[in-house]
Amino acid sequence: MRFLDFIRQQGYRPYHGTVSAAVYAYLHCETPAKARWFHRPGSYQCAGCAQQCETDSSDGFQHFLLTDHSDD
């Protein structure tokens, strides 16, 4: 099963908000331009590279854009 299919089955939806550079620094991300974030209540998951970083902190994530407008 593809990772994107798996996280969607787990209730994650595409996250369309802005992510602060501090999030990438905290996660030691080497390729923030490839980031592809998904969200579900209490968790943010990146599917942009093989590291598949996840955080439960909303610090650095734009809070008012958490609704999904497409099935990306």
Q: Count the residues in the chain.
A: 72
Average pLDDT over residues 42-60: 95
* pTM score: 0.82
More confident residue, 67 or 66: 67
* pLDDT > 90: percent of the chain: 82
pLDDT score of 15: 94
Cα–Cα distance measured from residue 37 to residue 27, given in angstroms and rounded to the nearest whole number: 13
SS3 14: strand
Cα–Cα distance measured from residue 15 to residue 19, given in angstroms and rounded to the nearest whole number: 10
pLDDT score of 65: 46
The model's pLDDT over 14-31, given as tens digits with 9 standing for 90+, comes to 999 999 999 999 999 999
